[in-house]
Amino acid sequence: MKQKIDNADTIFNSGGTKPDRSSPNPCTWSLADLDSLAAKFPKDYRTALLRGSYLNFFTTFDEKYYADALREYQKAALLNPQSPLPHYFIGHLYTRASFWTKAAWASDEGRDEPQRKAILAYDKAIQLDPRFLPAYELRASAYHNLKQYRKAIRDYDKVLELDPENVTAYADRGLAKMEVGQFLSATVDLGDAIRRKKADDHSLTYSHEHRGDAYASLGMYRNAIADYSQALKDQLANLTFLLNLKQIRGLYPEYDGVPDDTMVRKINALFWPEYDHSVMAKQLLEGEGKWPITLVNDLYEKRGDAYLKSGDFRRGVLDFNRIFHGIPNFADTVERWRSLGSGKENWYLDVKSVEFGSTSRLWIKTARKDKTYTIAAYEIDCKGRRLNSSSSATYDQQDQLVNSSEASSGWLRIIPETIGETLYNGACSTAGSSR
């Protein structure tokens, strides 16, 4: 119980959904056993803690046991007012109630009120023992859930003071810091979490994604791209065994010219080296591919935006096309106008209509602070370093057309620090496509 205090109730798992007066399994506790223990040690607070934890286990199946468990924990607190354990378990009970009750599922207040009660209980546990680590951990989580991020950060600080290798605290403190705009510090915390996590830790993917988000918020797009790419690699490692080769080709059209067997061997070596080639070939070439592609669409969208803002339009557009053509479940929900950055005006690229080549063609929306905007078609002569605006249309704040023109501007030289230079640099990059 002390060794695994945060889920002590699981030691009473009898396989049933209601407390038993007796158990057919001699190795499983029952109420009769606990009654006998209480009779022998009526003033021992630990007996009440055991009864409370036993009843706590059954709250998953019936909410009425919350009140019964609470009474036992309160009794334990009266029997030993100097111990932080009863108050910790009261807080843990309220934390559980914030997730596993009808009220919590019905409204935000029904979820938040138990969290506030849990915090009061953790406060009392910490007053009794200022070094009681589990109370700081769960109080930090409660503050985080209530969006009181600065208080959560202070508790994560204390957790890491008491347990410098606490991976969860590093990761969660990083998320809390992002919520208050401390993005650079968040990248450090998330990096500390990433370095401490094992390679097979499924949460590693999310730590890379969150750190990518922090880097993107700082405008450090290359760092963000690296993290999103690692998160994608981790997610694809799981997805490739659920998909067929046709689905994977939809995500990666740049491999259209690569033979099926070569593709299978590449996927085998990259993601599933422990499996024989024949197993992967059967799965990828003969599989029905009915599993819908999920989990990676947000990552492609985030990485696509990072590529665009870093000035690499080709890779950015390619990531959006992976969604449009390879993930049909999400293709219609992704906004086609993507930001290229902001200044006096905000520029957006239509990623659905871009054509790349020696002469690249693209549509740009220029949005102004008064909420009017202009949509214009551009041609970029990459070799000649020239730009031509072939048509444009201006709209008011209600999206009503104000004026339009089909007149070509003619080929003009690229002027530094203008939208023309941004489009030239982005469209004429020859860096290739990201894997």
Residue ranges of the domains in the chain?
A: 5-164, 234-331, 344-427
pLDDT of residue 35: 83
Helix, strand or coil, per DSSP, at residue 405: strand
CA 182 to CA 238: how far, in whole Å? 32
Could you identify the residue written with the tokens 């997805």?
239
Judged on CB neighbours under 10 Å (0-12, 13-18, 19+), 43 is exposed
Specify the pTM: 0.89
Cα distance between residue 305 and residue 311, in whole Å: 10
Kindly state the tokens that stand for 404. 């339009």
What pLDDT tens digit does each residue of the chain (435 aa) get?
555 555 565 556 556 667 776 666 666 777 778 888 888 888 999 999 999 999 998 898 899 999 999 999 999 999 999 999 999 999 999 999 999 999 999 999 999 999 999 999 999 999 999 999 999 999 999 999 999 999 999 999 999 999 999 999 999 999 999 999 999 999 999 999 999 999 889 999 999 999 999 999 999 999 999 999 999 999 998 888 888 999 999 999 999 999 999 999 999 999 999 999 999 999 899 877 777 888 899 999 999 999 999 999 999 999 999 999 999 899 999 999 999 977 667 999 999 999 998 899 999 999 988 999 999 999 999 999 999 998 999 999 999 999 999 888 899 999 988 889 999 999 987 644 444
Check if the beta carbon of residue 136 is closer than 8 Å to that of residue 158: yes
Give yes or no for a contact between 48 and 85, defined as CB atoms under 8 angstroms apart.
Answer: no
Q: What is the pLDDT of residue 34?
A: 83
Question: Among 175, 179, 234, which residue's Cα sits nearest to residue 204?
Answer: 234
Top CATH class of 5-164 equals mainly alpha
Alpha-carbon gap, residue 310 to 216, rounded angstroms: 10
Distance CA 294, CA 238 (A): 11
Q: Is the Cβ–Cβ distance between 422 and 347 less than 8 Å?
A: yes
First to last CA, the chain: 48
Q: What residue type is assigned to position 81 of the chain?
A: P
DSSP state of 293: P
Nearest to 217 by CA among 297, 306, 334, 144: 306
Q: What is the pLDDT of residue 241?
A: 83
**What are the C-alpha distances in Å from 329 to residues 253, 296, 297?**
18, 12, 9
